[in-house]
Structure 1
């Protein structure tokens, strides 16, 4: 088995202070590896980077069309949002459209990452609701599919038709049987695959427009929604939003917990998957941005790129004291 390789370095002065190791794969539209780092067969949980896969049954089942879901709603179904009003207002409207309420969610409450939204709750002495959960858009999608299927309320259970539909979609697009699953932060099952399997899935999404089957049409809709509404997929200050904006809607990217990051590049029909083994987000953001620069879809000198590649480390007084940079292994 190939070991993880150095992917991101943290320098302070002239000293390499920290080193992040990981795995990454770039796949073409046939699912073949174009380039890899570390162990392409390392088994990982994709966490929230797989949300566009989990959203596939929402579209392929006909539920999205039945309920007239907009591209904004499809973007939210793939989102790990900040809990800002632009997110929660839309999710609440979606729930109302279904005739449901916050208690119908199974994702659990979460304090918003959006500072104005968080301060608003504090000022009014209001507790966070489940709609503030960063996965509430995905769960609104689950509830829509669940209502369409006429299934029971506990839609996050592994044997529930909603999750079985997600598993089927997951194994189809990764091209392999999932060896296991874990329970994600939002209580939904998260199916494991290899780094190669995840990259293969992203390349399948990237080449969806070349095919005419129902699943591919659904994939193209989801990718378009993500790229068109980067502010809904994550939010202000977030890498997913910043990088998609910097690439002008030509590429869809999505992060996941424990330092997973994926990219879908339709114009090159390439899919990318990154996993940093120590779970450091600063490293996964640096690496995905470095790969996108190397592939020629992200400008190296773009202000948003510089937030992640050779990103400056500033101390409390704003003094530049180091940087987070890609390792030599990441150079194209």
Structure 2
């Protein structure tokens, strides 16, 4: 697969994610450090400049689902999504829990396109939403592709595919849909992606550096709602995410809880293997981080720390304390430890 045209920041692939990582999150028990999570993090400003960094800013990573708003850009830029609501756009950027609020919207969107669940290529996934999962168990029904956490993204792919006139295998890296996504991805990260891997939903996931990912988020944050097509698309996407945190993830999930706590000041997105990004339009800043060991709790704690540092999240908010600084309690409710930032981070 050929890369796009952007080569302002070429990557040679030598910046291993394991090299140069620094301690970011510590887990304490009985007053002693029990575990340490290392990683990389970058904050970029509106011109793509690095404002702050920890670890190796050039470490090359798979952004996984943290880049779904980048994958949605061609859909909006094509004009195919002009009539979509913010709820549709939030779902296109979601890694949702498979609850009724998610599957019903995805199903209606498919029907509006004249398509069905069988046209999706994301695969069936058991919902993490408890009500949905229990409902399937009680009815002895199997989960379908609408329950897949990426189903909204894939409906967006199908909508773009109708505009581009591609074949049914829209997740093929050589397909017009994925070529359009790669071009947008490289343009906004300002890096030629050195390789790709296949994500859990079967779509290609293009690698970039932690800086490239943060630079892309800063581009979203600095976008003008009256600007060019890409800027207008970026604003629509991050505003939709901030307005519908329940659609982006689900009840009790970090993305949903933290965006609610910030009351629209930021859009954040988790990616598998402990990647997190944040779009801060008020500050025109973009954040990207990667925890090397793939630990979700550390990624949630690290993004919480950086959002607090940026002034958009109250450290005392219950959603923040649940992930950083609050008490860790055992099954009897006894306080046994704490998750905190490592010295020198955030």
Both proteins in one fold, TM over 0.5: yes
Alignment partners' CA distance in 2, 1:136 and 1:210: 27
Q: SS of the counterpart of 2:344? A: helix
The aligned counterpart of 1:78 is 93
Q: What SS class does the counterpart of residue 62 from structure 1 fall into?
A: coil
* Aligned 1:300-311 pairs, distance under 5 A: 300-311=315-326
Q: Deviation above 2 Å: which 4+ runs of structure 1?
A: none
Task: Choose the corresponding residue for 1:107, options 119, 122, 131.
Answer: 122
For the pair 1:56 / 2:73, whether they are aligned, the reply is yes
Task: Name the counterpart of 1:153.
Answer: 168
CA-based RMSD: 1.0
- How many pairs were matched up? 329
Pick aligned residue for 1:255 from 270, 273, 281: 270
Q: Deviation string for 1:68-112 (max 9, x for gaps)? A: 211100000000000000000000000110111111000000000
Q: Distance in 2 between matches of 1:259 and 1:311?
A: 20
Distance in 2 between the 1:205 and 1:15 partners? 40
Shift in Å, 1:311: 3.5
Task: State the TM-score, normalized to the length of structure 1.
Answer: 0.98
SS at match of 1:329: coil
SS in 2 for 1:177: coil
**What are the equivalent positions in structure 2 for 1:24-173 lying under 5 Å apart?**
24-65=41-82, 68-173=83-188
The 2-side partners of 1:247 and 1:52 are apart by: 19
Match of 2:8 in 1: none
| 1:211 CA displacement | 6.4
- Other structure's SS at 1:262 match: strand
- Cα distance, 1:210 vs. partner? 6.9
Q: Secondary structure at 1:278's aligned position in 2?
A: coil
Q: CA deviation at 1:32?
A: 0.5
SS of 2:24's partner is strand
> TM-score, normalised to structure 2's length?
0.94
Match of 2:219 among 204, 207, 219: 204
1:188 aligns with 2:203: yes
